[in-house]
Amino acid sequence: MSQKQQYSIEYDFHASPQLLYQYLSTPSGLSEWFADNVNSRGENFTFIWDDTEESAKLLHKKSNDKVRFQWQNGEDDDEDYYFEFRIQVDEITKDVSLIVTDFSEEDEMEESKMLWDNLIADLKQVLGAT
């Protein structure tokens, strides 16, 4: 299996870090834009799209700052990869940015970035932050 490449994409948001964090860290928030439905039991999250279910483990969360998940696909290299949402606030302008970090096969990189672009557009619409 080829090595996945890490990448990060930054998105500007017109929303408070506190509000944004709720949509990144809670099952109800994530089910508004990321998946059709999200359930959690402790640090284990189940993401549901149509007839597909994916499990992820919540690795790290810091209130109003960042959330990191790791897919649990039963692959040998599961622990090498994660996806993370990090909220950044500019000290001077107070502009809020969301930085998404993920991993992708090199030949699927553009497709992965487009998927995040669409997901984040959905999140902005839910937040009224377009």
The encoded tokens of residue 96 equal 């809020």
The Cα 115–Cα 112 span in angstroms is 5
Give the chain's end-to-end CA distance (angstroms, integer).
Answer: 39
The CA-based angle 62-68-70, given to 5 degrees, is: 150
The CA-based angle 40-129-46, given to 5 degrees, is: 15
Place of tokens 């930054």: 10
CATH 3.40.50.720 fits 5-127, yes or no: no
Q: What is the dihedral of CA 99, 100, 103, 104, to 10 degrees?
A: -110
* 56 close to 47: Cβ distance less than 8 angstroms: yes
pLDDT tens for the 130 residues of the chain, in order: 568 999 999 999 999 999 999 999 999 999 999 999 999 999 999 999 998 999 999 999 999 999 999 999 777 766 788 999 999 999 999 999 999 999 999 999 999 999 999 999 999 999 987 6
Strands 44-49 and 83-89 come out as unpaired
Which helix (H) or strand (E) covers residue 110, if one does? Answer: helix 109-127
Res 37: pLDDT:
96
Domain boundaries in the chain?
Answer: 5-127
The Cα 87–Cα 69 span in angstroms is 15
Res 102: pLDDT:
96
* 45 close to 25: Cβ distance less than 8 angstroms: no
Res 122: pLDDT:
96
